[in-house]
Amino acid sequence: MIARAPRTAGVPAGGRSPAVRRAELERRRRTTLLCAVAGTAVIAGAWWTLTGPPVAISTVRVEGYRGPDRARVNEVVAAVAAEGTMVRPPVQRMREELVARFPQIADVHVAREWPRTVRVQVDLARPGAVLEVRGGRSLLVSPAGRVLGEGARRGLPTIDVPTAPRGDRVGGSAQRSALAFLAALEPSTAARVKDLRLARGALRARLAGGPELRLGPPERLAEKALVLDAVVGNADPADLARATYLDLSVPERPTMGGVGSTAAADDGEDAAPAGDDADPADDGAPSSEP
């Protein structure tokens, strides 16, 4: 037989007393608590480092904008920059605020210059047309319809309107349709479009050095622009100069009148400016003459 060692009173078979086990358990709890506290401190420190004063934006530089309201632009940029950090600059918010508040600004690009500077490069909106307001006033507008200020500029298409837009955007479907047609044209063709207007539900204009343009209802404008580009690019300039009108109201069947004929150039109807007061009831295309 194998003799067993006598058991010590109060000591279990495993060799550790309850007091020892309790001490070990307490030690493990303290270790777990310390690890949790240390982890929380590390996370908090990292968050403070990434979002706190060490990475705050302290300097903002605005480039590419020289408008009279430049001081106001700088104020908006500084206010928006204060909401972000060098780690996460508020690029989208900066773009939205500046484009919405300042018509001259088309877009912005934000770049970080470490350690604590942000550079904001402004892209200015370019004029796409001149609004010729009844009474002699001229306004530059962007292709998106933002009013950029007063003045005329050679080489831009013109749109006749009865009244100036209210606010910093063109209003009314007629003016928006006119801008949409111009935007769909090749720039060289668009520059030759003058006196674009709405005449009893149909768009009309004249082509510099060419005929009257009869565009019909303000619909299918991209197709009509494509046809006009093709005609201007391929027709004999002498034929365009002699023509009395170019009817694109049905883009599949463009018609040029007055070439090689003695027909009258037009039916004599006056055209209304491209404003909201144009009569929308008659939306048929002008008739073509042989």
Q: Are 228 and 213 in contact (CB under 8 A)?
A: yes
Give pLDDT, residue 258: 82
Residue 96 predicted with pLDDT over 80:
yes
Residue 269 predicted with pLDDT over 50:
no
Residue bearing the bigger pLDDT, 26 or 111: 111
Give pLDDT, residue 278: 44
Least confident of 38-52, 169-183, 247-261, 270-284: 270-284
Percent over 70 (pLDDT), the chain: 78
Q: Which two tokens stand for residue 249?
A: 């109201």
Q: Write the CB contacts of 54 (distance below 8 Å, at least 6 apart in sequence).
A: 48
Q: Are 62 and 74 in contact (CB under 8 A)?
A: yes
Residue bearing the bigger pLDDT, 122 or 39: 122
Give pLDDT, residue 270: 45
Domains parsed from the chain with CATH numbers: 54-124 (3.10.20.310), 129-257 (3.40.50.11690)
Give pLDDT, residue 119: 93
> Sorting pLDDT into bands at 50, 70 and 90, what band is 10?
low
Percent over 90 (pLDDT), the chain: 49
Residue 23 predicted with pLDDT over 80:
no
Taking residues 79-92, what's their average pLDDT?
A: 88
Least confident of 50-54, 114-118, 136-140: 50-54
- Pairing type for strands 212-216 and 202-207 reads antiparallel
Residue 7 predicted with pLDDT over 70:
no
Residue 265 predicted with pLDDT over 80:
no
Q: Are 217 and 283 in contact (CB under 8 A)?
A: yes
Give pLDDT, residue 70: 92
Which regions of the chain does DSSP assign to beta strands (E)?
Answer: 59-63, 105-113, 117-124, 129-133, 137-141, 147-150, 158-161, 193-199, 202-207, 212-216, 245-247, 255-257
Number of DSSP helices (H) and strands (E) in the chain, helices first: 7, 12
Residue 19 predicted with pLDDT over 70:
yes
Each residue of 227-242: b (16+ CB within 10 Å) or e?
bbbebbeeeeeeebee
Per-residue pLDDT reduced to its tens digit, 192-247: 999 999 878 899 999 999 999 999 999 999 999 999 999 999 999 999 999 999 99
Give pLDDT, residue 275: 53
